[in-house]
Every structure is written in C-alpha cells, then in structure tokens.
C-alpha cells in the first residue's frame, strides 16, 4: 500500500514554492544601496578582514614559534640527561649520589612540564589548523609577506616503539 501525504501539506508546499521568488526579492532589497555607500562598505570590510587575517596569522605564528621553542628545550634537556647517564656509565639513577639524583630528578620533572605544555599547545594549534582548513599553510592563503606555517605538530610521547629500541 502506498503512503500518500494528505492534500493539505502538498498545497502548502506549492504555496511556499510560489512565494519563494517574492521572499528572495524581499531579502535582496536591503542589500541594494547607493554605489558610494556600497563601495565604502566593501573597502572597510576588506580592510577589517585583512587586519583580522593578519592578527589571526600573528597569533598562530606565535603558537608555532612557541612550539618550536619547547621542542628545542626538550631536546636540550634530553641531551643533557643522556650525557649525565653516560657520565655515570649508564647505571640506574638510584645508585647515584643524592645530589646527582636530585639534579637528574629535577630535569625529569622539567622535561615532563615542557612536554605537557607542548602537547596542550599542539592540540590547540592542530585543532585550529583543522577548523580553518589549514589556512596558513599555503602561500595563496597567507597575508602578504608571511611565511607558511606547519600544518600540525606531533605531540611528545614517552612510548618507545619496539622497532626503534
């Protein structure tokens, strides 16, 4: 058995279709203005949008610079910690002198804090890039004189893959 809609809703749809051109024309009327006003509005809107785009780019560029700085700091700490381990013959830090253990432990805590900060900021940066359609990664979508930014930053993990060890 065929499921037919009642006659009244079908008439309502046809009435709506008949009214669409009138509704469209009424919606377009406020958009029509004098050429001088329209040109002024367009140039002001363009200036605001380019200013907003430049500010947005600077904010994202600062995030990327901070992420790079955090990556360098983590790398320097890891290098220092590895050198300290080598100087102790690769032994377990529990067997070191107390002052050395404390210094190493402070480095481990600092490394965790830097990685946590990096991962939080990377999540914000990556989500922005996804939401904006990777807006500042190609030269065509950059403000004049700006450089391309990375599309994403991978988070730091403390998981070692079995193939790399």
Give the C-alpha separation, 49 to 61, whole Å: 18
144 in a structural domain? no
156 in a structural domain? no
* 93-140 pLDDT tens trace: 888 899 999 999 999 999 999 999 999 999 999 999 999 999 899 888
Q: Per mean pLDDT, which range of 40-44, 64-68, 105-109, 150-154 is the poorest? A: 40-44
4 in a structural domain? no
96 in a structural domain? yes
* 20-63 pLDDT tens trace: 444 444 444 344 444 444 444 444 554 557 788 889 999 999 99
Residue 94 has which token pair? 């529990």
29 in a structural domain? no
Domain that holds residue 130: 51-139
89 in a structural domain? yes
154 in a structural domain? no
Count Cβ atoms within 10 A of the Cβ of residue 122 and give its class: 0-12 exposed, 13-18 middle, 19 or more buried.
Answer: buried
- In terms of pLDDT, which residue wins out, 151 or 41? 151
84 in a structural domain? yes
Q: Record the pTM.
A: 0.65
Count Cβ atoms within 10 A of the Cβ of residue 153 and give its class: 0-12 exposed, 13-18 middle, 19 or more buried.
Answer: buried
Domain count, the chain: 1
């Amino acid at each position: 058995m065929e499921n037919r809609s009642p006659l009244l809703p079908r008439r309502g749809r046809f009435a709506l279709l008949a009214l669409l051109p009138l509704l469209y024309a009424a919606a377009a009327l406020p958009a029509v203005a004098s050429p001088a006003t329209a040109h002024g509005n367009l140039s002001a809107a363009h200036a605001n949008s380019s200013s907003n785009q430049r500010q947005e780019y600077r904010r994202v560029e600062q995030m990327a610079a901070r992420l790079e700085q955090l990556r360098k700091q983590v790398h320097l700490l890891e290098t220092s910690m590895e050198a300290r381990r080598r100087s102790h013959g690769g032994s377990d830090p529990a067997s070191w002198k107390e002052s050395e253990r404390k210094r190493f432990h402070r480095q481990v805590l600092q490394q965790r804090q830097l990685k946590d900060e990096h991962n939080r900021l990377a999540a914000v940066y990556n989500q922005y890039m996804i939401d904006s359609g990777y807006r500042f990664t190609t030269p065509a979508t950059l403000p004049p004189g700006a450089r391309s930014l990375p599309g994403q930053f991978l988070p730091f993990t403390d998981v070692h893959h079995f193939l790399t060890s």
